[in-house]
Amino acid sequence: MPTDLTPHTVSTATAETRATIADVARLAGVSKATVSRFLNHRDTLLSPGIAARVEAAVTELGYVPSPMAQALKRGRSRLIGLVVADISNPFSVAVLRGAEKACQEAGYLVMLFNLGNDGAREREGIEALASYQVEGFILNTLGTDPKAADEVARHGKPAVLVDRKHPEMQADFVSLDNADAMRLAVDHLLERGYRELLYVTEATAGVSSRQEREAAFRAHLSGYAAAHTDVGDLAASARVVESSDAHGADLHAHLEALRSLGKAGPAAVIASNAVTTLRVATACAALGWTLGHELGFVGFDDTEWAPLVGPGLTTIAQPTDDIGRVAASCLLDHLQGRKLPPRQILLPGRLVARGSSQAVAAEPAGVITSA
């Protein structure tokens, strides 16, 4: 997908048809400085006759001053730069919507730069947005470029990190509470009778949110086993697979091996995000399996299509709109001159139970299954 560096407000005018301040000055027979005085409501400095000529020229040409040019004259662009790791990921799109709504309510426009999961482009994205005089950054980057922090600092603009920490950057950080969200997923499957669990994730190297979820997966299995002595050695069943194949082919052997391990109890998969959910679903379809029958399943990200796959996919819904809004609010705090130390804001996820995690034993009390 091409990089988007256009503010999210669309004008029907084109460079060829839009009148300029020079056109107005030429038609009115005055200087551009005179037109500028009129446009900036300083027409008291002009004679009534000249003001009338300029007004007539503006009307005849349909001249509309450039908001960007006017803002820059005042030293404010009213633009926020948003860098996202992967615009094809539903999480990135949902966070963008939340941030954009909050920015628009505060009188700002959002400009987007998509990294396409290429960590080498982090500095490029920041530099490109800075060239448009954005007033600050919301960064959902991979966090793998150590010099990206220097690039932000060089421009002297405030920044807020979303979902992924950057080890070199001291900034506000807004994210899902990954440890608690993973606890919801693990406990839900174990309480429903699943005992062999596989966590499927994209590559974790250098990506803090993926690392946190993997660590929480292992930790919660161990913690659950310590609190429930009747479930056996769950730590031994904490299997993790990094999937890189968009068609899910690399998962076939892992899923077949997982299902064959049903000695202690039925097997289930936890997928790290919507991308890996699709890979798991593709692999299961190739094997002729249905999630919720041959394998239990919980996936991070509650997409619009999650209820439509098999008996419905159980998910951990991320508060994406809130994440975007809170990130924008943090940035606006800085733009309004508030001097605050770096904040870490973790928002809770929500378990949406559907058929893919149906109980394999007696239905546990207090669990409500969503349609």
Q: In what order do the strands lie in the sheet with 296-300?
A: 238-242, 196-201, 267-271, 296-300, 314-317, 350-352
What's the rounded Cα separation, in Å, for the pair 364 and 115?
44
Q: What is the pLDDT of residue 214?
A: 95
Q: pLDDT digit of tens for each residue in the chain (371 aa)?
A: 345 554 443 333 344 567 888 899 999 999 988 888 887 766 667 888 898 999 899 888 888 776 556 555 555 778 999 998 888 888 888 999 999 999 999 989 999 999 887 878 888 888 988 888 899 999 988 777 777 777 888 888 899 999 988 877 889 999 999 999 999 999 999 999 888 899 999 988 888 899 999 999 999 988 877 776 666 666 666 789 998 775 556 788 888 888 877 555 689 999 999 999 999 999 999 899 999 998 999 999 999 999 999 999 999 999 999 999 999 999 999 999 888 899 999 999 999 999 999 987 544 444 444 44
Q: What is the pLDDT of residue 9?
A: 39
3-state secondary structure at position 147: coil
Are 79-176+321-347 and 178-318+350-357 equal in CATH topology?
yes
The answer to whether the CB of 308 falls within 8 A of the CB of 354 is no
3-state secondary structure at position 57: helix
**Fold of the domain built from segment(s) 79-176+321-347:** Rossmann fold (3.40.50)
3-state secondary structure at position 108: coil
pTM of the model: 0.76
Alpha helices in the chain (DSSP H): 21-28, 32-39, 48-61, 67-73, 90-105, 122-130, 148-155, 178-191, 208-227, 252-259, 274-287, 320-335
Pairing state between β 238-242 and 196-201: parallel
Q: What is the pLDDT of residue 11?
A: 31
What's the rounded Cα separation, in Å, for the pair 253 and 267?
14
3-state secondary structure at position 267: strand
CATH code reported for the domain at 178-318+350-357: 3.40.50.2300
How far CA 248 is from CA of 208, 277, 296, 358, in Å, comes to 24, 10, 17, 24
Both tokens assigned to 209: 């949110």
Segment holding 197, helix H or strand E = strand 196-201
What's the rounded Cα separation, in Å, for the pair 207 and 212?
9
Q: What is the pLDDT of residue 4?
A: 55
What's the rounded Cα separation, in Å, for the pair 96 and 90?
10
- Nearest in space to 187 (alpha carbons), one of 234, 242, 257, 233: 234
Q: What is the pLDDT of residue 131?
A: 85
- The DSSP bridge partners found for residue 364 are none
Within 13 Å of residue 177, how many CA atoms lie on the same side as its CB? 12
The answer to whether the CB of 320 falls within 8 A of the CB of 148 is no
Terminal CA-CA length for the chain: 34
Q: What is the pLDDT of residue 3?
A: 53
Q: What is the pLDDT of residue 265?
A: 65
Both tokens assigned to 28: 């009115």
How many residues in the chain?
Answer: 371
Both tokens assigned to 280: 């798991």
What's the rounded Cα separation, in Å, for the pair 312 and 147?
43
Please name the residues in contact with 319: beta carbons below 8 A apart, sequence gap of 6 or more: 176, 347, 348, 349, 350
Both tokens assigned to 61: 């040409």
Question: Domain residue spans in the chain?
Answer: 21-63, 79-176+321-347, 178-318+350-357
What's the rounded Cα separation, in Å, for the pair 116 and 103?
23
What's the rounded Cα separation, in Å, for the pair 305 and 282?
14
